[in-house]
Amino acid sequence: MGTHELTRDVWDIDPAEFPADGTTAEQARFLLRYAILAPSSHNSQPWEFLVADETVEIHAAEDRWLDVADADRRELYLSLGCAVENLSVAAEHFGIGVDVTYHDEPSPVAVVGLQPEGELSSRRPAGLFGAISERYTNHHLFADDPLGETVRQRLRECALEDDVTAVFVDDADAKRSIAELQAEADRRQMEDPEYRRELGHWIGIGALGDAWLKARIGQAVVSHLDIGDREARKNSKLVQSAPVLGVLWTNSDDPSARVTAGQVFERMSLAATAEGVAVHPMSQTLERPEMRERLADIVDADGALPQHLFRLGYASDEQEHTPRWPLEKFLVDAD
């Protein structure tokens, strides 16, 4: 695959360049330029794609799996699901039907069939395509403005799959309990030198968007200092500032369930972006099994399994998108 540099240029896609008269494989490669704009934990971009005839195989990239923070691969599969959703939304925008087959193995996790003459989904909300290149994760404090029922309903409509449940938490006591859990998770994670080393690696290479010098300083600070108390205070405030916390849960921890949950999250993120609503995933409490169980109790999951926690609200804009590796890094050849 060669060596490729992180760049923000990948965000500049001209839809007019879509190869309408090209082969399905050529169209697939164009659509994958939207898939790689999906969010992923630490911006690790843990996907690989194999384009063959009228299908795109989505594989997990083991070298970009966060094996310390994400030991059970929950975030890995969620990230792959986000990429699947971007690919699906982009395909339907250009009039191409999509059929997704899921597998509970890492290679491939999913196979997306592209059907140029196929039927388009009638359930996926309209207006998501334009949000793909506008979406970003917002790390600011949110304004004390409620999320209206119209917006909430639009987001609820994004949970198309029967095996993924979306819940909104706006009760002050529940948010306070989640904020306390978040703070505890931050402290516990930052006590682990291996966790800090892994996080420091992604900061240091610039994956989180910092310029070279700031990234190197950030890597040194995170890798060698226990800043758990600082992170706990900051993230607790972020949780409590959100008018609404979103939680996605499923009935199983199978990879396919997690990929589907990732699709729902990205669909909600795109819908939120279209509505001017900021989104910020908060993964730390779900990275520790005992805290994940406590989160399930707080949100009254009734035996279901929380897969994702995120903030929703209104905030000032981030200054720019995080960088991505170009598509060529992620394309693999058939054996």
Which two three-digit tokens encode residue 22? 């090209």
What is the pLDDT, as a whole number, of residue 99?
A: 94
* C-beta separation of 155 from 272 below 8 A: yes
Tokens 């334009």: give the residue.
Answer: 130
Helix, coil or strand: residue 305: strand
The closest of 290, 277, 286, 287 to 248, measured between CA atoms, is: 286
DSSP string for residues in 139-178: -SPPPS-PPPHHHHHHHHTT--STTEEEEEE--HHHHHHH
Tokens 């909430």: give the residue.
Answer: 152
DSSP lists the bridge partners of residue 60 as 47
In tens digits, the chain (335 residues) has pLDDT values of 345 899 999 999 999 999 999 999 999 999 999 999 999 999 999 999 999 989 999 999 999 999 999 999 999 999 999 999 999 999 999 999 999 999 987 689 999 999 988 788 777 888 999 999 999 999 999 999 999 999 999 999 999 877 899 999 999 999 999 999 999 999 999 999 999 999 999 999 999 999 888 988 999 999 998 899 999 999 999 999 999 999 999 999 999 999 999 999 999 999 999 999 999 999 999 999 999 999 999 999 888 999 999 999 999 887 789 999 999 999 998 76
What is the pLDDT, as a whole number, of residue 30?
A: 98
What is the pLDDT, as a whole number, of residue 334?
A: 73
* C-beta separation of 288 from 145 below 8 A: no
Q: Which H/E stretch holds residue 186?
A: helix 172-190
* C-beta separation of 114 from 51 below 8 A: no
Residue ranges covered by each domain of the chain: 9-135+321-330, 149-313
Its CATH architecture, for the domain 149-313, is 3-Layer(aba) Sandwich (3.40)
* C-beta separation of 5 from 324 below 8 A: no
* C-beta separation of 59 from 53 below 8 A: no
What is the pLDDT, as a whole number, of residue 139?
A: 93
Q: What is the largest CA-CA distance in the chain?
A: 56
What is the pLDDT, as a whole number, of residue 106?
A: 67
Q: How far apart are CA 39 and CA 159, in angstroms?
A: 18
Beta pairing, strands 244-250 & 164-169? antiparallel
DSSP string for residues in 181-217: HHHHHHHHHHT-HHHHHHHHHHHHTTTTS--HHHHHH
* C-beta separation of 164 from 250 below 8 A: yes
209-214 own/partner pairs: CB under 8 Å, 24+ apart: 209/43, 209/320, 209/321, 209/322, 209/323
Q: How far apart are CA 332 and CA 32, in angstroms?
A: 13
Q: Please tell me if the domain spanning 9-135+321-330 has the same topology as the one spanning 149-313.
A: yes
Domain 9-135+321-330: top CATH class: alpha beta
Q: How far apart are CA 105 and CA 94, in angstroms?
A: 30
Q: How far apart are CA 127 and CA 291, in angstroms?
A: 36
Confidence (pTM) = 0.96
